[in-house]
Amino acid sequence: MIDLLKKHLAEVNDFSSDNAQEIEAFRIQYLGKKGLLNHFFSEFKNIPAEEKKEFGQTINELKSKASEKVNTLKKAIELGSQEKRIYNDLTRPSEPMELGVRHPISIVKNQIIDIFSRIGFNVSEGPEIEDDWHNFTALNLPEHHPARDMQDTFFIQTNPDVLLRTHTSSVQVRYMENNKPPIRTISPGRVYRNEAISARSHCFFHQVEGLYIDKKVSFADLKQTLQFFTTELFGKSKIRLRPSYFPFTEPSAEVDVYWGLETETDYKMTKGTGWLEIMGCGMVDPNVLDNCGIDSKTYSGFAFGMGIDRITLLLHQISDIRLLSENDVRFLEQFKSAF
Protein backbone atom coordinates (compact mmCIF):
# COMPACT_ATOMS: atom_id res chain seq x y z
CA MET A 1 0.00 0.00 0.00
CA ILE A 2 2.84 2.39 0.81
CA ASP A 3 4.40 1.72 -2.60
CA LEU A 4 1.06 2.62 -4.23
CA LEU A 5 0.98 5.88 -2.26
CA LYS A 6 4.49 6.75 -3.43
CA LYS A 7 3.50 6.02 -7.01
CA HIS A 8 0.60 8.48 -6.73
CA LEU A 9 2.90 11.00 -5.06
CA ALA A 10 5.22 10.88 -8.09
CA GLU A 11 2.21 11.31 -10.43
CA VAL A 12 1.10 14.39 -8.48
CA ASN A 13 4.55 15.94 -8.68
CA ASP A 14 4.73 15.31 -12.45
CA PHE A 15 1.23 16.59 -13.25
CA SER A 16 0.99 19.87 -15.16
CA SER A 17 -1.75 21.47 -17.22
CA ASP A 18 -3.09 24.85 -18.32
CA ASN A 19 -6.54 23.44 -18.97
CA ALA A 20 -9.11 24.21 -16.26
CA GLN A 21 -11.14 21.05 -16.92
CA GLU A 22 -8.08 18.81 -16.60
CA ILE A 23 -7.09 20.50 -13.34
CA GLU A 24 -10.61 20.05 -11.94
CA ALA A 25 -10.57 16.38 -12.91
CA PHE A 26 -7.22 16.02 -11.15
CA ARG A 27 -8.65 17.68 -8.03
CA ILE A 28 -11.66 15.36 -7.96
CA GLN A 29 -9.44 12.30 -8.53
CA TYR A 30 -7.39 13.00 -5.42
CA LEU A 31 -9.31 15.48 -3.23
CA GLY A 32 -12.96 14.76 -4.07
CA LYS A 33 -15.36 13.02 -1.67
CA LYS A 34 -14.86 9.78 -3.57
CA GLY A 35 -11.25 10.54 -4.36
CA LEU A 36 -8.16 8.45 -3.77
CA LEU A 37 -7.16 10.28 -0.59
CA ASN A 38 -10.43 9.40 1.19
CA HIS A 39 -10.00 5.82 0.03
CA PHE A 40 -6.48 5.66 1.45
CA PHE A 41 -7.62 7.21 4.73
CA SER A 42 -10.35 4.54 5.07
CA GLU A 43 -7.71 1.85 4.53
CA PHE A 44 -5.62 3.17 7.42
CA LYS A 45 -7.25 0.76 9.91
CA ASN A 46 -6.15 -2.22 7.84
CA ILE A 47 -2.48 -1.25 7.79
CA PRO A 48 -0.14 -3.28 10.04
CA ALA A 49 0.85 -1.41 13.21
CA GLU A 50 4.54 -1.24 12.29
CA GLU A 51 3.68 0.50 8.96
CA LYS A 52 1.06 2.96 10.22
CA LYS A 53 3.53 5.72 11.00
CA GLU A 54 5.13 5.70 7.53
CA PHE A 55 1.72 5.25 5.86
CA GLY A 56 0.26 8.25 7.76
CA GLN A 57 3.22 10.49 6.87
CA THR A 58 3.05 9.50 3.19
CA ILE A 59 -0.71 10.02 2.87
CA ASN A 60 -0.46 13.44 4.52
CA GLU A 61 2.35 14.38 2.11
CA LEU A 62 0.20 13.23 -0.82
CA LYS A 63 -2.73 15.36 0.37
CA SER A 64 -0.49 18.42 0.84
CA LYS A 65 1.20 18.02 -2.58
CA ALA A 66 -2.14 17.49 -4.37
CA SER A 67 -3.73 20.59 -2.79
CA GLU A 68 -0.63 22.70 -3.52
CA LYS A 69 -0.53 21.51 -7.15
CA VAL A 70 -4.20 22.38 -7.72
CA ASN A 71 -3.86 25.85 -6.19
CA THR A 72 -0.67 26.63 -8.15
CA LEU A 73 -2.13 25.59 -11.51
CA LYS A 74 -5.39 27.49 -10.92
CA LYS A 75 -3.53 30.65 -9.95
CA ALA A 76 -1.38 30.41 -13.11
CA ILE A 77 -4.52 30.22 -15.25
CA GLU A 78 -6.06 33.22 -13.46
CA LEU A 79 -2.91 35.33 -13.93
CA GLY A 80 -2.71 34.43 -17.59
CA SER A 81 -6.36 35.32 -18.08
CA GLN A 82 -5.88 38.64 -16.26
CA GLU A 83 -2.84 39.56 -18.39
CA LYS A 84 -4.74 38.67 -21.51
CA ARG A 85 -7.59 40.99 -20.48
CA ILE A 86 -5.12 43.81 -19.73
CA TYR A 87 -2.99 43.62 -22.84
CA ASN A 88 -5.79 42.83 -25.30
CA ASP A 89 -7.91 45.77 -24.13
CA LEU A 90 -6.91 48.62 -26.47
CA THR A 91 -9.21 51.05 -24.64
CA ARG A 92 -7.40 50.58 -21.33
CA PRO A 93 -5.29 53.62 -20.30
CA SER A 94 -1.55 53.02 -20.61
CA GLU A 95 0.90 53.25 -17.77
CA PRO A 96 2.14 56.82 -17.21
CA MET A 97 5.56 57.48 -18.73
CA GLU A 98 7.93 59.97 -17.14
CA LEU A 99 9.43 62.16 -19.82
CA GLY A 100 13.07 63.13 -19.51
CA VAL A 101 14.17 66.73 -19.73
CA ARG A 102 17.14 68.54 -21.15
CA HIS A 103 19.51 70.18 -18.73
CA PRO A 104 19.26 74.00 -18.79
CA ILE A 105 22.93 74.18 -19.83
CA SER A 106 22.17 71.97 -22.83
CA ILE A 107 19.09 74.02 -23.68
CA VAL A 108 21.03 77.29 -23.80
CA LYS A 109 24.02 75.73 -25.55
CA ASN A 110 21.76 74.40 -28.29
CA GLN A 111 20.14 77.82 -28.67
CA ILE A 112 23.56 79.45 -29.10
CA ILE A 113 24.69 76.81 -31.61
CA ASP A 114 21.49 77.25 -33.60
CA ILE A 115 21.90 81.03 -33.80
CA PHE A 116 25.48 80.90 -35.03
CA SER A 117 24.80 78.03 -37.42
CA ARG A 118 22.38 80.33 -39.25
CA ILE A 119 25.25 82.62 -40.18
CA GLY A 120 27.66 79.91 -41.26
CA PHE A 121 29.49 78.87 -38.07
CA ASN A 122 30.23 75.18 -37.56
CA VAL A 123 30.90 73.44 -34.24
CA SER A 124 34.38 72.26 -33.19
CA GLU A 125 35.38 70.29 -30.10
CA GLY A 126 38.60 69.33 -28.37
CA PRO A 127 40.02 67.54 -25.30
CA GLU A 128 39.35 68.79 -21.78
CA ILE A 129 42.83 67.65 -20.69
CA GLU A 130 45.19 69.97 -22.56
CA ASP A 131 48.88 70.73 -22.94
CA ASP A 132 50.53 74.06 -22.19
CA TRP A 133 51.03 74.96 -25.85
CA HIS A 134 47.39 74.82 -26.88
CA ASN A 135 46.00 76.30 -23.67
CA PHE A 136 48.53 79.11 -23.15
CA THR A 137 51.63 79.51 -25.30
CA ALA A 138 49.98 79.46 -28.72
CA LEU A 139 47.51 82.06 -27.46
CA ASN A 140 50.22 84.65 -26.82
CA LEU A 141 50.69 83.54 -23.21
CA PRO A 142 54.30 82.30 -23.02
CA GLU A 143 55.74 80.86 -19.81
CA HIS A 144 55.89 83.36 -16.92
CA HIS A 145 53.52 85.75 -18.73
CA PRO A 146 51.70 87.72 -16.00
CA ALA A 147 48.34 87.24 -17.71
CA ARG A 148 48.48 83.54 -16.83
CA ASP A 149 47.63 84.57 -13.29
CA MET A 150 44.22 85.67 -14.57
CA GLN A 151 43.27 82.00 -14.86
CA ASP A 152 43.79 79.85 -11.76
CA THR A 153 44.70 76.53 -13.32
CA PHE A 154 44.40 72.86 -12.37
CA PHE A 155 47.70 71.27 -13.41
CA ILE A 156 48.24 67.52 -13.56
CA GLN A 157 50.63 66.86 -10.66
CA THR A 158 52.74 64.22 -12.46
CA ASN A 159 53.24 66.43 -15.52
CA PRO A 160 53.33 70.23 -15.16
CA ASP A 161 52.89 70.59 -18.93
CA VAL A 162 49.42 68.95 -18.78
CA LEU A 163 46.38 70.69 -17.31
CA LEU A 164 42.61 70.89 -17.31
CA ARG A 165 41.79 73.48 -19.95
CA THR A 166 40.90 76.91 -18.61
CA HIS A 167 39.01 78.00 -21.75
CA THR A 168 37.84 76.56 -25.05
CA SER A 169 40.28 78.82 -26.91
CA SER A 170 42.51 75.74 -26.95
CA VAL A 171 40.00 74.14 -29.32
CA GLN A 172 40.35 77.13 -31.64
CA VAL A 173 44.13 76.68 -31.69
CA ARG A 174 43.74 73.04 -32.69
CA TYR A 175 41.18 73.99 -35.34
CA MET A 176 43.47 76.63 -36.85
CA GLU A 177 46.34 74.14 -36.92
CA ASN A 178 44.29 71.67 -38.96
CA ASN A 179 42.17 73.93 -41.17
CA LYS A 180 42.92 76.68 -43.63
CA PRO A 181 41.01 80.00 -43.82
CA PRO A 182 38.30 80.95 -44.27
CA ILE A 183 37.47 79.67 -40.77
CA ARG A 184 34.15 80.22 -39.06
CA THR A 185 33.63 78.03 -35.99
CA ILE A 186 32.27 78.02 -32.43
CA SER A 187 33.70 75.82 -29.67
CA PRO A 188 31.35 74.93 -26.80
CA GLY A 189 32.62 72.87 -23.87
CA ARG A 190 33.40 72.50 -20.19
CA VAL A 191 36.37 74.31 -18.66
CA TYR A 192 38.06 74.28 -15.24
CA ARG A 193 39.54 76.90 -12.95
CA ASN A 194 40.75 76.66 -9.38
CA GLU A 195 38.18 79.02 -7.90
CA ALA A 196 36.14 78.97 -4.70
CA ILE A 197 32.65 77.58 -5.17
CA SER A 198 29.87 80.04 -4.37
CA ALA A 199 26.47 81.13 -5.65
CA ARG A 200 28.19 83.09 -8.45
CA SER A 201 31.22 80.97 -9.35
CA HIS A 202 32.29 77.34 -9.65
CA CYS A 203 35.50 75.38 -10.22
CA PHE A 204 34.09 74.08 -13.51
CA PHE A 205 31.71 75.77 -15.91
CA HIS A 206 30.85 75.91 -19.62
CA GLN A 207 31.99 78.24 -22.34
CA VAL A 208 31.33 78.79 -26.00
CA GLU A 209 33.94 80.67 -28.01
CA GLY A 210 33.70 81.81 -31.61
CA LEU A 211 36.35 82.40 -34.26
CA TYR A 212 36.17 83.96 -37.72
CA ILE A 213 39.27 84.25 -39.93
CA ASP A 214 39.34 85.43 -43.50
CA LYS A 215 40.79 88.18 -45.66
CA LYS A 216 39.87 91.77 -44.71
CA VAL A 217 37.90 90.87 -41.56
CA SER A 218 37.28 94.04 -39.53
CA PHE A 219 36.04 95.07 -36.12
CA ALA A 220 32.80 96.15 -37.81
CA ASP A 221 32.21 92.51 -38.82
CA LEU A 222 32.66 91.50 -35.19
CA LYS A 223 30.18 94.10 -33.94
CA GLN A 224 27.57 93.14 -36.53
CA THR A 225 27.91 89.44 -35.62
CA LEU A 226 27.45 90.17 -31.91
CA GLN A 227 24.52 92.47 -32.65
CA PHE A 228 22.77 89.64 -34.50
CA PHE A 229 23.50 87.16 -31.70
CA THR A 230 22.21 89.31 -28.82
CA THR A 231 19.06 90.19 -30.73
CA GLU A 232 18.30 86.54 -31.48
CA LEU A 233 19.09 85.16 -28.02
CA PHE A 234 17.93 87.90 -25.68
CA GLY A 235 15.58 89.88 -27.87
CA LYS A 236 17.74 92.90 -26.98
CA SER A 237 19.21 94.86 -29.85
CA LYS A 238 21.14 97.49 -27.90
CA ILE A 239 24.76 96.59 -27.08
CA ARG A 240 27.94 98.43 -26.19
CA LEU A 241 31.60 97.48 -26.39
CA ARG A 242 34.01 98.66 -23.68
CA PRO A 243 37.80 98.52 -24.14
CA SER A 244 39.41 95.61 -22.29
CA TYR A 245 42.47 93.35 -22.38
CA PHE A 246 42.89 89.74 -23.48
CA PRO A 247 46.34 88.37 -24.41
CA PHE A 248 45.10 86.70 -27.59
CA THR A 249 43.11 89.62 -29.07
CA GLU A 250 44.06 93.18 -29.93
CA PRO A 251 42.08 95.37 -29.71
CA SER A 252 39.87 93.69 -27.09
CA ALA A 253 36.48 94.60 -25.67
CA GLU A 254 33.84 93.58 -23.16
CA VAL A 255 30.32 93.29 -24.56
CA ASP A 256 27.33 94.60 -22.61
CA VAL A 257 23.69 94.20 -23.56
CA TYR A 258 21.06 96.67 -22.40
CA TRP A 259 18.72 94.58 -20.28
CA GLY A 260 16.48 97.41 -19.16
CA LEU A 261 15.07 98.58 -15.86
CA GLU A 262 11.46 97.48 -16.10
CA THR A 263 11.27 95.35 -12.96
CA GLU A 264 12.85 95.13 -9.53
CA THR A 265 14.73 92.04 -10.73
CA ASP A 266 16.21 94.11 -13.56
CA TYR A 267 17.52 96.61 -11.02
CA LYS A 268 19.13 93.85 -8.97
CA MET A 269 20.67 92.08 -11.97
CA THR A 270 22.11 95.23 -13.52
CA LYS A 271 22.88 97.03 -10.24
CA GLY A 272 20.66 99.86 -11.34
CA THR A 273 22.49 100.53 -14.64
CA GLY A 274 20.33 98.50 -17.02
CA TRP A 275 23.49 97.02 -18.61
CA LEU A 276 24.71 93.42 -18.31
CA GLU A 277 28.14 92.15 -19.29
CA ILE A 278 27.75 88.97 -21.35
CA MET A 279 31.07 88.24 -23.09
CA GLY A 280 34.55 89.28 -24.16
CA CYS A 281 35.75 89.73 -27.72
CA GLY A 282 38.40 91.25 -29.96
CA MET A 283 40.45 90.98 -33.12
CA VAL A 284 42.75 87.94 -33.14
CA ASP A 285 46.31 88.97 -32.31
CA PRO A 286 48.65 88.42 -35.33
CA ASN A 287 51.02 86.43 -33.09
CA VAL A 288 48.26 83.87 -32.47
CA LEU A 289 47.67 83.48 -36.22
CA ASP A 290 51.39 82.99 -36.84
CA ASN A 291 51.66 80.47 -33.99
CA CYS A 292 48.93 78.41 -35.64
CA GLY A 293 50.47 78.50 -39.10
CA ILE A 294 48.22 81.20 -40.60
CA ASP A 295 49.79 84.16 -42.42
CA SER A 296 48.84 87.22 -40.36
CA LYS A 297 49.78 89.54 -43.25
CA THR A 298 47.14 87.96 -45.47
CA TYR A 299 44.43 87.05 -42.99
CA SER A 300 42.75 88.70 -40.04
CA GLY A 301 39.95 87.63 -37.78
CA PHE A 302 37.91 88.12 -34.67
CA ALA A 303 37.14 85.97 -31.64
CA PHE A 304 34.59 86.10 -28.84
CA GLY A 305 33.78 84.01 -25.78
CA MET A 306 31.02 83.75 -23.19
CA GLY A 307 30.04 81.61 -20.23
CA ILE A 308 27.06 79.39 -21.01
CA ASP A 309 26.32 79.07 -17.29
CA ARG A 310 26.12 82.84 -16.90
CA ILE A 311 23.82 83.16 -19.91
CA THR A 312 21.64 80.36 -18.47
CA LEU A 313 21.36 82.16 -15.14
CA LEU A 314 20.25 85.31 -16.94
CA LEU A 315 17.74 83.71 -19.29
CA HIS A 316 16.07 81.53 -16.65
CA GLN A 317 16.46 83.89 -13.67
CA ILE A 318 18.42 81.33 -11.64
CA SER A 319 20.06 82.85 -8.57
CA ASP A 320 22.61 80.16 -7.69
CA ILE A 321 25.05 78.62 -10.20
CA ARG A 322 25.47 75.56 -7.96
CA LEU A 323 21.95 74.43 -8.90
CA LEU A 324 23.23 73.68 -12.40
CA SER A 325 25.52 70.89 -11.17
CA GLU A 326 23.63 69.40 -8.20
CA ASN A 327 21.28 67.16 -10.28
CA ASP A 328 18.27 68.03 -8.16
CA VAL A 329 15.33 66.47 -10.03
CA ARG A 330 12.92 69.04 -8.59
CA PHE A 331 14.99 71.79 -10.17
CA LEU A 332 15.49 70.03 -13.50
CA GLU A 333 11.80 69.20 -13.92
CA GLN A 334 11.08 72.92 -14.24
CA PHE A 335 12.58 72.75 -17.74
CA LYS A 336 10.20 70.13 -19.15
CA SER A 337 8.59 72.68 -21.45
CA ALA A 338 11.95 73.85 -22.82
CA PHE A 339 13.56 72.34 -25.89
DSSP, collapsed to helix, strand or coil, labels residue 105 as helix
Question: Is pLDDT at 338 greater than 60 in this prediction?
Answer: no
Distance CA 165, CA 244 (A): 22
Rounded to the nearest integer, the mean pLDDT of the chain is 86
pLDDT confidence tier of residue 84, bands split at 50, 70 and 90: low
pLDDT confidence tier of residue 122, bands split at 50, 70 and 90: very high
Distances (CA, A) of 210 to 116, 123, 169, 184, 287: 9, 9, 9, 8, 18
Burial 260-298 (b: 16+ CB within 10 A, else e): eeeeeeeeebbeeebbbebbbbbbbbbbbbebbebebee
pLDDT confidence tier of residue 256, bands split at 50, 70 and 90: very high
pLDDT for the residue 49: 76
pLDDT confidence tier of residue 147, bands split at 50, 70 and 90: low
H helices present in 193-270, as ranges:
219-234, 264-270
Q: What is the pTM of this model?
A: 0.68
Segment 100-124 shows an average pLDDT of 93
Segment 79-106 shows an average pLDDT of 72
pLDDT confidence tier of residue 15, bands split at 50, 70 and 90: confident
Distance CA 85, CA 312 (A): 49
| Nearest by Cα to 277 from 330, 240, 231 | 240
pLDDT for the residue 82: 62
pLDDT for the residue 42: 77
Segment 184-203 shows an average pLDDT of 90
Distance CA 188, CA 107 (A): 13
Segment 129-156 shows an average pLDDT of 80
